Amino acid sequence: MPSFTALLAFALVSLGMVLTPGPNMVYLISRSIGQGRGAGLISLGGVAAGFVVYMLCAAFGITALVFAVPYAYDALRLAGAAYLLWLAWQAVRSGGRSPFQVQRLPADRPRKLFAMGLLTNLLNPKIAMLYLSLLPQFIDPAQGSVLGQSLALGFTQIAVSVTVNAMIAIAAGSIAAFLAAKPFWMRVQRWLMGTMLAGFALKMALEARR
């Protein structure tokens, strides 16, 4: 097991990560406001499952092998960028809806909500790179099994991320009534979110492999 100091330091780093806006946060907020807190929390389950997948891959060294294969990283990066651009288009197209807008449409079923949360996380290659770059810095072979330490640190990050994102999803749901009564801010949110998603997509697509 890693030392208490290493766990605490990694938890603080993880907290800083989850508080930084990104595709996962945008998706969870949009689900919570559009379909309610329950939908946001189910979507969060999918996001958490994505963290588990990447964490296990990093812990067992599979992720390093994947990124060693030519074009594997680029394929995942471009797929993620294309997905975010599609979300951005849905927000800004004529007749489109803001991800923060309450949509009077049949809610997606739990299975689809979970799958979309999982997909949103898995199509973000920076998560995998994050595990590869951060985990080794907090592992001390003198503390015992490297695999055990990797799993402990990984689950620490997941616990922090799920806790913070759950609070965000719950708070986001309360914004729906305000937005419904303020058409101007609804338009602002629609274009703001479309711009942010497009920005994430372009950054991901143009970012050189590190």
Q: Which pLDDT tens digit goes with each residue over 4-35?
A: 888 888 888 888 777 766 778 878 887 887 78
pLDDT of 46: 95
The pTM for the full model equals 0.71
pLDDT beneath 50, residues of the chain:
103-105, 210
Q: What is d(CA 93, CA 95) in angstroms, rounded to the nearest whole number?
A: 6
Q: Are 168 and 25 in contact (CB under 8 A)?
A: yes
pLDDT of 105: 40
pLDDT of 210: 47
Distances (CA, A) of 154 to 84, 135, 158, 164, 195: 26, 8, 6, 16, 32
Q: Which pLDDT tens digit goes with each residue over 147-175?
A: 888 889 999 999 999 999 999 888 886 76
